[in-house]
Structures are given as C-alpha cells and as structure tokens.
C-alpha cells in the first residue's frame, strides 16, 4: 500500500486525471488515493502537509503527491511534508514563461472558473441540450444538434452525450433504436433527414446482457438472444445506410467521445 494525494487549489480534477494516468502504468502496486481539493489557504495547506506526513509514517514510505497548486507558499509547505511531489503546474509554467517571455498571473481557479461568462453559459446550454434531447424525448431540435448518437438501449448514448456537452460544448442528441426501428434496415423516420449528423454506438452482446441484467434481471430485455438480435440488426442498419459507428464494449466514455470527435471532424465549441 502506498498513499497518493491529489492536491489542488480548486476541484482537483486535473491533478487526479493526470496522476491516475501515470498510476495506471503500475498495476502491481496498490495505491490508496486521497483527493484534497480547494487547498486555498495557509491553514488548509498546513493541514494537508500534516496528513501527508502522517500517511508517509504509517506506510513506512513517502507518500506521492500530484499537485496543481498555484501558490508558491502553499507548494513549499507540501514539498516539506516528507512526501514526493509531482507538480504539474510548476513543471510547465516556468518553461512557458521563458518561451512566451512573460510572467504568468499565478492566479487561482482560472481553469475551472466562470470568468468568461459566454463560455460558461455555452457549456450550460450544451448540457441542457443533451438532457432535453436524451433518448428521443424530442426530435424537434435535431436541426440544432451538432451530432446525433443512435444505438440500442444501454450502449452508452446518454453518458457520451453528456461528456461531449460538458467537455467540448457539443450539442449532442441521442435516439434509441427500439424493436420497431429494428424491424427494417431503413433509418427511422425521425433520423432520415439528419444522416450527416448520425453516429452509431454498438456493443458486444454479452457485455450488453451484463449491463441490462443489472437493470432488469432475468427479463426478455436482458436475454442474450434479445441482445444479439438487437446488436446485429442495429449494425446492419448502420452499414446499409453508411452511418459510422463505434464498438463501445471495452473503451471508456472519454475515449468514445474522443474518437467520435476525431472521426466526425467536430470541433469543440468552448
């Protein structure tokens, strides 16, 4: 067991994402992860340093610290805690200052703040769009959509739409393919006028059965026969209508979204 701290003056999302990307390369080690977010006062920084010291003593080896702490003062407290610090902010900011020949602001919270009201409002609008156009609740807004994801139930449409909205400001709608849609290889009427916006999600039938079984155990909806039939017919529809699609079985929502953006050549709005 080795304790790992993710420390930031704001949410800690960046430190956690970057740190976890590195930790995944060491699957043989058991890491205890601790997220210390909003370390934005001297008192909080001192408390964090004490926690790191105690964890290092308990483990019998120095704790690892992944930090995006902006304040030099608070960063020095962490450096003297007895842990080993990987400072993402300092690693890159000094090099950028040299290249750009100017000093950085060293201001906290800029990456997750709401300083640019247009950008922040745009992200909120895209999230609302995804929620309002989820699972075919309405098709009247498809003209406004940047992309429309389609696939069988539980293939990953909703979380992918929300991720595209939150991370990239993409107006993403989704349409579920139900039995009536899958009786033919033709596109459902609601989608026919938007072929250039469509992107299909497919999934391994066994994986789909496992997901559905959690939702509705021992039902026809979750049977392997039903899953195989729906996936086969959905893929036939995609192929017959030249709709690009991706297998979501063993890749993360982040990767699904990234691949869709790359293949569809969509650009982030914000």
With CA atoms as reference, report the closest residue to 85 among 145, 138, 18, 7: 7
| Radius of gyration of the chain from its Cα atoms, rounded to whole angstroms | 23
Q: Report the binding-site residues for ADP.
A: 151-158
The sheet that has 84-87: what strands, in order across it?
A: 31-36, 2-7, 64-67, 84-87
Q: Report the binding-site residues.
A: 151-158
Per-residue DSSP letter, 82: T
Tokens of 27: 């699957």
Between CA 158 and CA 112 the distance in angstroms is: 24
Widest CA span in the chain:
67
According to DSSP, the residues that pair with 198 across neighbouring strands are 148
Between CA 115 and CA 95 the distance in angstroms is: 25
Half-sphere exposure of 229 (CA within 13 A, CB side): 14
């Amino acid at each position: 067991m080795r304790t790992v701290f993710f420390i930031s003056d704001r949410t800690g999302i960046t430190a956690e994402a970057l740190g976890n990307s590195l930790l995944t390369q060491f699957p043989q080690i058991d890491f205890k992860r601790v997220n210390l977010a909003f370390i934005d006062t001297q008192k909080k920084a001192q408390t964090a340093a004490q926690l790191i010291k105690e964890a290092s003593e308990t483990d019998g080896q120095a704790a690892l610290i992944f930090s995006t702490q902006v304040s030099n003062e608070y960063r020095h407290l962490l450096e003297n805690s007895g842990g080993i610090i990987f400072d993402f902010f300092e690693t890159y900011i000094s090099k950028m200052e040299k290249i750009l020949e100017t000093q950085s602001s060293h201001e906290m919270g800029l990456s997750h703040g709401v300083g640019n009201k247009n950008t922040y409002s745009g992200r909120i609008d895209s999230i609302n769009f995804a929620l309002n156009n989820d699972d075919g609740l309405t098709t009247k807004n498809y003209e406004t959509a940047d992309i429309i994801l389609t696939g069988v139930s539980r293939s990953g449409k909703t979380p992918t739409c929300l991720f595209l909205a939150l991370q990239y400001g993409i107006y993403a709608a989704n349409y579920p393919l139900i039995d009536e849609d899958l009786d033919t290889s033709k596109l459902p009427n609601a989608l026919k006028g938007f072929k250039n916006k469509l992107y299909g999600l497919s999934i391994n039938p066994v994986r789909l059965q496992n997901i559905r079984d959690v939702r509705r155990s021992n039902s026809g909806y979750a049977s392997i026969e039903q899953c195989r039939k729906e996936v086969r017919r959905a893929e036939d529809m995609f192929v017959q209508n030249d709709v690009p699609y991706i297998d979501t079985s063993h890749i993360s929502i982040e990767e699904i979204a990234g691949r869709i953006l790359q293949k569809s050549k969509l650009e982030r709005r914000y």
